[in-house]
Amino acid sequence: MTKRKIVLAFSGGLDTSYALVAFREAGWDVVTANIDTGGLHSGEGEAVRARAEELGAVEHHVVDARSELYDRVVTYAIKANYLRNGAYPSCVGAERLIQAEKVVEVALQVGADAVAHGSTGAGADHVRYDAVIRALAPQLEIVTPIRDERLTREEETDFLRARGYAVSEKVKKYSINEGLIGTSIGGEETYGSWEYLPEDAWTYTKPISAAPDQGVELLLTFHQGAVVEATTAGGVPIEGTGPGAANFAILQALNTLGGEHGVGRGIHMGSTMVGNLARVGFEAPGMLILIAAHRELEKLVLSNRQQATKATLGNTYGDLLHEAVYFDPIMDDFRAFLDSSQRRVDGTVRVLLHKGNIVLLGSKSPYSLLDAATRQGVVYGHGSSAWTGEQARAFAHMYAMPGSIARLAGNPTD
């Protein structure tokens, strides 16, 4: 009798390692799919492959999805200036869309009967995976032992060690998900609301105390809302970027450079789509730098009404993306609005990275509203040749009228 085949989204971490062995012992042929959305560094892909083979996978697939993630997710997150609750750039959560799609593609390619992921039922990732799988391949069974069996990390560790498989202490203690957008870190300290993650929990950002005393100034250039160039203040391309580099190279380089200067750490707390309050550590230097610079350029070229409307619609778009509303047609409508809003978002922003800070030094654009106002004789703080003192007095008089009328009308007593 032919064994049933299952494709497992595999990172090599504790949860997916447990799942692989458990599936194999239950009689499945396990095919592992490692979807690279920016979490694999030099040599790590081979380490994940070796782990899959050690644990008994019959096939291992590696899919490089960084470029697709950047085009479909990152660029619109930047255009929307999206930070969850004003702080968190959605890190790995928004990457699950691409990861789940690629796992389905592998499953269809190898003729699998089922797909699996290592998400728990306590967070939102299991919803993200299931939403994509059910939309794209409803005929595939979804198997989720970590969610269904409600296992603890200690139980998974004991299971693997009892069978002779090594589990590192850091993997045992912390759940770390690294990607192009950023790294999320969960552990004992994040289960409550008081404790901060210790130094050994962070993966690549330096503490402020260890960051260089001398900061680094960057020039970030945007075209229609997309970053197209990143150089030092002297015009030298940041290492890893420049002509011929991948579309995601600037974000990748800013993650490294920002981390060296202590930029990008944080702990986010907020409501999840399943209704609970969650807290997670994150490292996301590149996204925080790019969103800060992009927002600063928008202030120079977009009208107040554009900025206000974008702030609302961009936040709604980002929240829906974060909450796995991937396939509702409204998302296409949001992206059309965001694309239209970026037609004049061309220019360069000066940014200083120093001791954990992102300091916006200045910006310029051929579509600068400030320059256009100056050409009309409107100079803030120094008067204006575009109107007379009498006209200014009349405007102030009329502007105050609604408040004056409301004041005279009085207020009802309690």
Q: Quote the pLDDT of residue 317.
A: 97
Which tens digit of pLDDT belongs to each residue from 92-145? 888 999 999 999 999 999 999 999 999 988 778 999 999 999 999 999 999 999
| Across 36-51, average pLDDT | 86
> Which residue is associated with the tokens 């600063």?
296
Q: Which segments within 120-234 are labelled E, that is strand?
A: 141-143, 175-178, 183-186, 216-223, 226-232
Q: pTM for this one?
A: 0.93
Q: Which CATH class for the 5-171 domain?
A: alpha beta
| Across 37-60, average pLDDT | 90
Tell me the average pLDDT of the chain: 94
CA–CA distance, 103 with 214 (Å, rounded to integer): 44
Which tens digit of pLDDT belongs to each residue from 300-317? 999 999 999 999 999 999
Cβ neighbours, 10 Å, residue 210: 11
**Among 3, 2, 24, 1, residue whose Cα is nearest residue 116:** 24
| Across 364-385, average pLDDT | 86
Is the per-residue pLDDT at 382 higher than 70?
Answer: no
**Among 209, 203, 182, 214, residue whose Cα is nearest residue 353:** 214
Domain locations in the chain as residue ranges: 5-171, 176-364
Query: In CATH, what number does 176-364 get?
Result: 3.90.1260.10
Residue percentage of the chain with pLDDT more than 90: 83
Q: Higher confidence at residue 374 or residue 207?
A: 207
> Which residue is associated with the tokens 């509303």?
325
Burial 163-175 (b: 16+ CB within 10 A, else e): eebebeeebebbb
Which tens digit of pLDDT belongs to each residue from 257-302? 999 999 999 999 998 887 888 899 999 999 999 999 999 999 999 9
**Among 144, 95, 88, residue whose Cα is nearest residue 115:** 144
Is the per-residue pLDDT at 84 higher than 90?
Answer: yes
Q: Quote the pLDDT of residue 376.
A: 82
Which tens digit of pLDDT belongs to each residue from 308-350? 999 999 999 999 999 999 999 999 999 999 999 999 999 999 9
Which tens digit of pLDDT belongs to each residue from 173-189? 888 889 999 999 999 99
Helices (H), 13-43: 14-25
Q: Quote the pLDDT of residue 193.
A: 96
Q: Quote the pLDDT of residue 387.
A: 87
Cβ neighbours, 10 Å, residue 1: 4
> Which residue is associated with the tokens 């979490």?
39
> Which residue is associated with the tokens 């916006």?
360
Q: Quote the pLDDT of residue 412.
A: 85
Q: Which segments within 255-376 are labelled E, that is strand?
A: 265-271, 277-283, 347-354, 357-364
* Phi and psi based region of residue 43 (left: phi greater than 0; alpha: psi -120 to 50; beta: remaining): left
At 383, the pLDDT band (50, 70, 90 cuts) reads low
CA–CA distance, 116 with 130 (Å, rounded to integer): 9
Q: Higher confidence at residue 157 or residue 41?
A: 157
| Across 53-72, average pLDDT | 97
Is the per-residue pLDDT at 1 higher than 60?
Answer: no
Go through the chain and tell me how many residues it has: 414
